[in-house]
Structure 1
């Protein structure tokens, strides 16, 4: 019986990035494997969001190589395989004239283009994403009229509409109530464990997902990788990495 080989979702080798001559990321090397739930942590200004933007091709590296699903980034075209929920995504202009369904449908653009017609497959994927996130009954509501928690679920549904292999979320809990945050963490856990979706989650509050994650990327210009999250998120280790006394709290949820 032949074994099916699955390349890393992301393979990064000696990646560096400078902004106006100042180093932001230095010589980062790591791999993210299929099925992983990876937390990306580090101090403000350490390069977390920049790293994700580099992975998504939104920034160009100063040097080094990025491969996505075994393909060099320059040759990679299957961007629909990556779902992205950016930072502060729940903060939407209340005057933005788009319905929930229209926002979720944007997640299909990578596959068919903004001017393409919706296929039956598109419509089914949009409906499935809305139902999965519990916003199907809000389909015709304007996105600007929703609560922060509802908008967050819509933005995640948009990312899921492309049926991605990996979901990247960049601290999307700004402006979201605590109850919605807990539902969000539970959703990520279920996507990873039930649907086998890989997760990359930028967070400051690693304690809330400590029991869920399988690996940690700590970034403060350089990148440290741990396949043993429980070891890395000890109080003494966090204090060493952040350069200041740290107290790690693991939340039961």
Structure 2
């Protein structure tokens, strides 16, 4: 894959994180460039979510440095460039008093500030995000009444509404059936290929996405970067490294 920009979106150097003397992540370094499609796997407790939270400035590393778009984390202010869908984001209360359109509009706040008025550009971006996630027909539905797969697409549309350069998703398929998962992955792949949006996501479903992803990060206190994920499943040390909680959901999209 040709990397178009020399300045990476994320430049992580010697990152470590400890809690009460216990090492959660140790000496992790990597770069993520615009247009990449990267999956993160690893055992529960291996530090995947902690790593994402450090990239987003929600946790402070014990040591090491993170640069975003060439700037040190403490100096970075353009957070609208990063769309984030946290773990269990789609598990909302069925009585939650908001429509699909209300939720997606919230994604514009990061771009314009909470007290700014809604502009024509805001409206267009909200429409575009709903179109990309195929939820325009659901715009007036209460979000709590939707299926898990529909809610998942609403939460991603909210993240897309700020026109991010990178989309970060933490186990987005929690509580979503396999058919919805496969539709979701094809939507993600389309965003990556057609919009050049960088995709970084945590998953257990490594079999589903192995055809599409460009690189695989295995996080288990340390990081192993796999630049050819298609060979990943034949690696002898994979199961030892990863643990036993991977779900190998094979991708049937090429079969008739």
- Give the TM interval when normalised to the shorter protein: over 0.9
Q: 2-side partners of 1:61 and 1:124: how far apart?
A: 38
Question: Which position in structure 1 is the counterpart of 2:39?
Answer: 39
TM-score (norm 1): 0.93
8 Å CA contact 1:17–1:62 kept in 2: the answer is: yes
**Structure 1 residues 118 and 218 mapped into 2: Cα distance closer, same or farther (>3 Å)?**
same
Structure 1 unaligned residues grouped into runs of 5+ = none
Partner in structure 2 of residue 138 of structure 1: 138
Deviation track 1:136-195 (CA, whole Å, cap 9, x = no partner) reads 122121111111111111001001101111111111112212221111010011111111
Deviating beyond 3 angstroms after TM superposition, the runs of 4 or more aligned structure 1 residues are 243-250
Matched residue, 2:114: 114
Deviation at 1:82, TM superposition (A): 0.8
Partner of 2:219: 219
Would the alpha carbon gap of residues 43 and 16 (structure 1) be closer, same or farther in structure 2, given more than 3 Å must change?
same
Tell whether the 8 Å contact from 1:16 to 1:28 is kept in structure 2 after alignment: yes
1:1-253 map, 5 Å: 5-242=5-242, 250-253=250-253
Alpha-carbon distance change, 115 to 246 in structure 1, aligned in 2, over 3 angstroms:
closer
Q: CA deviation at 1:230?
A: 2.3
| In structure 1, C-alpha distance between the alignment counterparts of 2:174 and 2:149, rounded to whole Å | 10
Q: Is the 8 A contact 1:233 1:248 kept in 2?
A: no
Shift of 1:213: 0.7
Aligned residues: 250
Q: What is the TM-score normalised by the length of structure 2? A: 0.92
Counterpart-to-counterpart distance in 1, 2:170 and 2:194: 22
- 2-side partners of 1:143 and 1:246: how far apart? 30
SS in 1 for 2:137: helix
Cα distance in 1 between the residues matched to 2:233 and 2:170: 19
| Partner-residue secondary structure (3-state), 1:236 | coil
| 8 Å contact kept, 1:82–1:168 | yes
CA positional deviation for 1:240: 3.3
Q: Contact 1:35–1:197 at 8 Å: present in 2 too?
A: yes
Give the Å deviation of 1:59. Answer: 0.7
Distance 1:131 1:236 in 2: 42
Runs of 5+ unmatched residues, structure 2: none
| Cα root mean square deviation, aligned | 1.8
